[in-house]
Structures are given as C-alpha cells and as structure tokens.
Amino acid sequence: MKRCTKAVIYKDNLEYNIKQILNVLKPGTKLCIAVKADSYGHNAILTSQIAQKLGVEYLAIATVDEGIELRKAGIKANLLLLSLCIPDEFTELFEYDITPLVFGKEYIKLFSDVADSYYKNDKKLNVQLAVDTGMGRIGCYPEEAGEEAVLINSSNHLKLSGMCTHFAVSDSLAEKNQDFTKEQYKAFVNAVNYVKDKGIDPGVCSCAASAAILNNPDMHFDMVRSGIITYGYYPDEITKEYLTKIHKDFDIKPVLAFQTQVVAIRPFPKGKSVSYGRTYICKKDTDIAVLPVGYADGLLRRFSPGLEVTINGKNYPVCGRICMDQCMVDIGKNNPDVKLWDKVLIFGPKESGALNDAEALAKLGNTISYEVLTSLTKRVERVIE
C-alpha cells in the first residue's frame, strides 16, 4: 500500500515500554500483555513477537479470531481470552490452545461437555475462572469460586490454570475509589482462598491492569495484565506527574504515529466557507491545505473544531467539519513553511515530529486514549519503523 495516510509503529518505543513494565514487577511476577483489538490498533502480531522475545509468557485477546490470527503467525505464548465466546467457537479454543475465562455452573458444564466430545485423548484445556469482585461485568461472585473451581477440575478435559478479576476504578485517585479497589482486592483474595480450601490449586492469579500495575504494587499477585501503558499512555489519573510526585520512576513513550500528507493547497478569499455545514468561514484571505484523512480512518468527526495537526514542527488548526475521507487545515496566506506533499502528523511520539499525542486528542473528543487508538480503521496501514 502506498497511501500516505498511515500509522507508523515505533517498534523501539514498544520494546522500551515493555521493559519499563517488567522493571516495576517483583521477581517471579508474570506479565500478560493485552494485544486485544489488534494491540489497541498497534498490530497484534508485531506486539506479540516483541513481547515473546522479551520473555512475556501471556498475551490477552478479546476474541477467538484474534487468537487464531496469532497462532497462525506462530505465536506460542499462552493466550488468555478476556471476553466470553459462544458455544460455536468452543472447538476453536481446543484447536488453537486458547485459555478462556469461564464462570457459571451452566457455562462450565456446557463447555466441559463440548470438550468431552472434542478430545479423543486425555488432554486438558487450561481455563481461568473469572471472578466479579465489583467490576459488574463478567465472573462468578467470590463466594461461588470454590464450587465452580471444583466443577472445572472434576471435568475430564478442563484444568483450572488461573483466576482473575478486574478493577472498576483503579485509575482514579479519589479516596473512595482507591478504597473500592482495596475492597475488590480483598474479595479476590477471599475467592482464591475459597478455591484453595477445596484443595484446588488456583493457578496463576491476576487482577491488576495498567492503573494498578503502577499504583497498587501490593496487588500484583502472580501476574499483571498490561494494556494501555504498553502503548505509551497513562491510565486516566495515574499520570507521569502523579508517579513523579509519589517518587515512582517510570517512563513510557507513545508508540504509534498517525500521519498523512498535504495533497492540495488552495487559496480561499475572505468570506468563503470550508466543508459541510459551512461552520468555518474564512475571516481573511488565507490558504487551505487538504488532507486525505477523515472519520472513516478514525479521525473522529468530533475532533473538529479544536484539532490541530503538525506540519514541519508547527501546529495548524483543522477547520470546518471533518469529512469521511478528507479534512482541511488553515495554514495562513502564503505560508513558506507548508508545501504540497509535506508530511502531516495528527498524533504520535516525539520522534515522529508530532506535537500532539493521542491523549491530547482524547481530551478534545471527550474520550480516552484507548478509544482514539482503537478507532483507527483497517484502511490505515500499519507500517513498522
């Protein structure tokens, strides 16, 4: 693909971030990297290869198809499926050795029956028991964990290989939210103990995602599940500034640069309007640069007005509505710094020349960096730098 609108993946930054995360773990704590949603838009195969090279043992996916893609690319790490799949997909879990999260007596029984009819030998599939300690999403309640673990391990072809829970507000510094996280943690410890009380090894237990990895080192358990920080962004209030304040030495760099090129520069007289809805009227004679990028690429329509893009080290405002495939930038009259075909950075790491990161766009669009990153669509080619 030769299209100029693309996402450049700074491989060295990805490696740097993973090393930074490994650095904050106690010896023996395992790392699971979330490569779901194509690694938050960063190319799951590349991320998985780098993670494997650095000794990361677990990768987290959200769909069975994501797991199959990684297996077909030769990824050998444990694949942990964080979302539930439907019975039609069960045999693919066996075929590709994907570890699902299970809970609920009916689901476990159904899963166990399908496993019985699939396996012709005495092989067992690793499964993890999901516990809902307060996220309000998936999982059994802590007091059900013991019985459900018994059900799993009494199955012919399933083996409990771990337990996990997920925090709802660990990315907030408000005292009541930090207290809630502590309650969730305690409930999870109880759930693990209920399983042990049944004489069952709970396996590799995990609860911390990015926020708790950084802010709750006492909650790392056997493994942590790192998502957004892998890709160079901080989870909400657990920012670089906050970590510096609590004397925590941690540094990450954005990995992805979203870029395009100037494909036209047109003179606009005072009073002429730009784009749909005529929301932008030129206040004086100016030049408008046209960019071949729009909301169908993931440049959300709500970013304008407000969005500025970087051309040759300077920011210029996107003007008028962002269209599906194009948008316009007011570069001012006869600007010697902007020429046809110049590179334009929408966001990215410093190395890319961008002055904005995905966090800045997120603020502008009233969302989070996670959504800005995963909004980049398929037609934006990922190029490895």
Ligand X SMILES: *Cc1c(COP(=O)(O)O)cnc(C)c1O
Q: Does 139 bind ligand X (CB under 6 A)?
A: no
In the set 17, 48, 128, 226, which binds ligand X (CB under 6 A)? 226
State the Cα–Cα distance between residues 37 and 302, nearest whole angstrom.
22
x/- mask, ligand X, residues 140-179, rule CB under 6 A, reads: --------------------------x-------------
Which residues in 14-43 contact ligand X (CB under 6 A)? 34, 36
Q: Does 209 bind ligand X (CB under 6 A)?
A: yes
Residue 69 is encoded by which pair of tokens? 């893609």
Residue where the block lists tokens 């603020």? 363
Catalytic residue among 240, 276, 284, 314: 276
| Comparison of 40 and 303: residue with beta carbon closer to ligand X | 40
Which residues in 235-294 contact ligand X (CB under 6 A)? 235
Q: Comparing C-alpha atoms, which of 115, 4, 30, 42 is closest to residue 344? A: 4
Burial of 19 (0-12, 13-18, 19+ CB in 10 A): exposed
Residue type, 142: P
In the set 30, 157, 225, 321, which binds ligand X (CB under 6 A)? 225
Task: Give least dist CB 305 to ligand X, A.
Answer: 29
| Comparison of 7 and 211: residue with beta carbon closer to ligand X | 211
What phi and psi, each to the nearest 5 degrees, are found at residue 260?
-155, -165
Task: Give least dist CB 221 to ligand X, A.
Answer: 13
Question: Is 36 among the catalytic positions?
Answer: yes
Burial of 153 (0-12, 13-18, 19+ CB in 10 A): middle
Residue where the block lists tokens 């740097």? 16
Task: Give least dist CB 26 to ligand X, A.
Answer: 18
In the set 82, 151, 238, 328, which binds ligand X (CB under 6 A)? 82
Size of the site for ligand X (CB under 6 A): 11
Task: Give least dist CB 335 to ligand X, A.
Answer: 39
Q: Does 227 bind ligand X (CB under 6 A)?
A: yes
**Binding segment toward ligand X, per CB under 6 A, in 107-115, 175-183, 226-234, 377-385:** 226-234
Strand partners, 258: 7, 347
State the Cα–Cα distance between residues 110 and 114, nearest whole angstrom.
6
CB-based contacts of 8: which residues, under 8 Å, 6+ apart?
A: 256, 257, 259, 348, 352, 383, 384, 385
Residue where the block lists tokens 């450049």? 8
Question: Is 185 among the catalytic positions?
Answer: no
Annotated catalytic residues are 36, 276
Contact positions vs ligand X (CB under 6 A): 34, 36, 82, 166, 209-210, 225-228, 235
